[in-house]
Amino acid sequence: MNNAIVKLINELNSSKIDQHRKELLFPLREYLTHKIKQKKEVNLNFICTHNSRRSQLSQVWAKVIADFYGLDINTFSGGIEITACNERTIHSFKRLGFSINQARGENPHYELKYKSDKDPIILFSKIYDETPNPNNNFAAVMTCTHANKNCPFIPGAEKRISLPFEDPKAFDDTSEEAEQYDKRSLQIATEMKYVFNKLLS
């Protein structure tokens, strides 16, 4: 894992997460603990409406921080509409130390690298059940209230977890844009650190 990402993860302070958020995170910790103790494959599919911001941030940080703790899990993301992985999301990843290729097109596929011996994470907008996402034996982690409300049933999901994050889209094209995208990214990273740290203790 590249030094900038390792340093960032080490500096994340999960003790600052408030009790309400810990309660929201508990079902995810519980699901992961059960699957790992049973030595079963773990698949997490993070879902929001457009699969452009919060679900992409969650997919990446869950994978990277699980790997940081030596846990082998599979992470995915999807939406209920196809748009594109927002360029502001990509710019935030770059600011925080990830290596990402330039990609073009209406729905570009970005390759995000965080470790030399790991395959890149491919980021693009897709429907939640579209390839390469799993169609069974996964937890559907709903990262926005809109998708949670408008998609009440996720076929194939063995667990549904509501874990909403505020949308940084509210700050698009403002002077706070970069700060707020990084803030949301770091919040998600911090909460994933809380989830995965000492998972089986």
pTM here is: 0.95
Judge residue 181's burial from the number of C-beta atoms within 10 Å of its C-beta, 0-12 exposed, 13-18 middle, 19 or more buried.
Answer: buried
Mention every residue, 6+ apart, whose C-beta is less than 8 A from residue 186: 12, 96
pLDDT in tens, 93-129: 999 999 999 888 899 999 999 998 899 999 999 999 9
Going along the chain from its start, the domains and CATH numbers come out as 3-196 (3.40.50.2300)
- CA-to-CA distance for 82 and 105, rounded, in angstroms? 13
Give residue 120's pLDDT: 95
pLDDT in tens, 54-78: 999 999 999 999 999 999 999 999 9
A 10 A CB-CB count for 110 gives: 21
The pLDDT mean for the chain works out to 94
A 10 A CB-CB count for 2 gives: 14
Q: How confident is the model at residue 198 (pLDDT cuts 50, 70, 90)?
A: confident
Instruction: Say if CB 159 and CB 142 are below 8 A apart.
Output: no
Give residue 97's pLDDT: 95
Q: How confident is the model at residue 85 (pLDDT cuts 50, 70, 90)?
A: very high
Give residue 145's pLDDT: 79
pLDDT in tens, 157-170: 999 999 999 999 99
